[in-house]
Amino acid sequence: AAPAAVPTEPAVPAGGRPVSEKDWAHVDSLLGLEPDEPGYDDDERSSGYGRDGDETGRGGAKRIVIAVAAIVILAVVAVGGYFAWQGRDTVTALVDPGQEQAAETPAEPETPPTTEPETETAQAPADDAADEGEAAGEKQFTQRLLPDGTEVEEGLPAAGASAGPARTVANQTSGAPATSGSTQEAAAPAPPVGSAQKMFLYEEQLGQSVPSAYQGTVTWELKQENTGTAVSEPVIEGVMNVPEAGLSGVITFRRNDDSSLPASHLIDIAFTLGDNFQGGAVDNVQRISLKNTEAARGDPLIAVSAKITDDLYMLALNDFDQARGQNLALLAERNWIDIPITYRNGRRALLTLEKGTTGMAIFDRAVQEWQALGDIGDNN
């Protein structure tokens, strides 16, 4: 006997799960389509035959016509509203012409309330100036438009009225601030040529291990002098003063102008001693050293010291090229100067001078000019 027929299930597409009618219905609803009805196959739907095929087609056509008509009506309303808004002024003028005319009529000028007290308290010349100003301001308008739309001819202002703006005190004094500013700038004080810097005098005391210290001042100045050379040359001058110790003096740095003297530069020190000076006199100047700070030991200049007269000494700086370069570098770069001296009574002392900002600038400029001039042997 033949085996009984076994019902077969539709094959599942490879690589996917079975798709139920429920899933397809969900997709159709998202697309706006009606779900399939049972009892009708795809052939009937494609051929146009079905139970309600004709009625369904007619209903869809009606919905499309209604939607198109609604869109057209909305477009017409929007366009009409836009043009109505653009021509609102014209429509208002047609409805109420008097309102537009009243709106265009300028308001009559009113006198500010603040001008009345000034007019009452001012003197006669001030009143005349105010009247001239008002006449000048109304000269531009010869007709006036009334609220009802008519115009009134008021004519030209009275003869003799000034056409220019009224003169005021503010107009006459408008340039005063600029003049005051320029005067203040011209009266600004000039910067000082030199300023006092610190100096110290340390004196040896018999029977004491710590020397006595006196503070004073030194003022630096750059001068231009002509001592027989073709051009004027820079000369540095420092005025020393230690009032408490009764010692003062002048130290001078200059380029050597004597070709017979084997020196590149000369340093002169002239002391002035007061009655309260305890050393008797300055008997010897040993050397001059330069250092960066007050507490440093310093490096001496390559020079030879000589006593000219009592309390007057000169140091001649070596004129060899290497020594000359070293000496000028020390003078330009170091901020403090040490001068060891010996008193006539045998006690020793030390003068320590500060250049400061002003002194450093003076020495730097002088050294640059000296280097440009060269040695006296170069016929400069």
Angle, vertex CA 364, rays to CA 358 and CA 366, nearest 5: 100
What local confidence, expressed as pLDDT, does residue 79 receive? 72
CB-neighbour burial class of residue 23 (10 A; exposed 0-12, middle 13-18, buried 19+): exposed
Tens digit of each residue's pLDDT (9 = 90 or more) over 319-336: 999 999 999 999 999 999
Model-level pTM?
A: 0.51
Q: Which of 286, 210, 203 is nearest to 246 (CA)?
A: 203
With residue 304 as reference, give the H or E element that holds it: strand 303-309
What local confidence, expressed as pLDDT, does residue 73 receive? 85
24, 29, 31, 37: CA torsion to nearest 10: 70
Residue in the block written with tokens 């110790």: 245
Supply φ then ψ for residue 151, to 5 degrees.
Answer: -115, 145
Q: In 3-state terms, what secondary structure has residue 337?
A: strand
- Give the max Cα distance, the chain: 162
What local confidence, expressed as pLDDT, does residue 81 receive? 74
Q: In 3-state terms, what secondary structure has residue 253?
A: strand
What local confidence, expressed as pLDDT, does residue 324 receive? 96
Strand partners, 354: 336
Where are the domains positioned within the chain? 59-104, 196-378
Contact 320, 290 (CB under 8 A): no
Supply φ then ψ for residue 25, to 5 degrees.
Answer: -60, -40
Per the structure block, which two tokens stand in for 136?
């000048």
Contact 303, 266 (CB under 8 A): no
Tens digit of each residue's pLDDT (9 = 90 or more) over 255-298: 998 888 999 999 999 999 999 998 999 999 989 999 999 989 89
Strand partners, 324: none
Per the structure block, which two tokens stand in for 310?
């009592």
Contact 291, 299 (CB under 8 A): yes
Contact 256, 376 (CB under 8 A): yes
Q: Give the DSSP letter of residue 300.
A: E
Q: Crossing angle of helices 321-333/356-373, nearest 10°?
A: 150
Beta-strand relationship, 348-354 and 212-225: unpaired
Radius of gyration of the chain from Cα atoms?
56
Spans of the chain below 50 pLDDT: 1, 7-33, 37-52, 100, 102-103, 115-126, 129-130, 133-138, 160-192
Query: What is the C-alpha separation between 102 and 61, in angstroms, rounded?
Result: 58
Q: How far is CA 155 from CA 68, 104, 145, 188, in A?
A: 67, 22, 14, 60
What local confidence, expressed as pLDDT, does residue 176 receive? 44
Query: What is the C-alpha separation between 155 and 97, in angstroms, rounded?
Result: 29
